[in-house]
Amino acid sequence: MITKDMFVHEILEIDDRFRKILSDYGMHCHECSGAKSETLEQAAKGHDVDFEKLLKELNSLKGQK
C-alpha cells in the first residue's frame, strides 16, 4: 500500500508504472532531486495536485500487479 508518508523515490522503485501516473499529474519526480527528500504528500502539495485522488490511483494500480 502506498501511503502519504512514503518518499517519492521509494514509490518509483516499487513499480515503473507509477512514473507515468505521476507524470500525468505534472509531477516529473523521476527527474527531480526532491524525490529522495519529499514525501508523496509534500510533492503533491508542491505541484497543487489533488493528493487523495493521486493516492487512490496509485494504490489502484498497485492492486493490479
Does the structure show a pLDDT above 70 at 65?
A: no
29: Cβ contacts below 8 Å, ≥ 6 apart: 8, 9, 12, 19, 22, 35, 38, 43
29 domain-assigned: yes
Cell of 2: 502506498
24 domain-assigned: yes
36 domain-assigned: yes
Residue type, 28: H
pLDDT tens sequence across 16-45: 899 999 999 999 877 777 788 999 999 999
Does the structure show a pLDDT above 90 at 63?
A: no
Does the structure show a pLDDT above 80 at 4?
A: yes
Extract long-range pairs of 25-28: CB within 8 Å, 24+ residues apart.
25/49, 25/54
63 domain-assigned: no
- Measured distance between the N- and C-terminal CA atoms of the chain, rounded to whole angstroms: 12
- pTM for this prediction: 0.85
Range of the domain at 49: 8-58
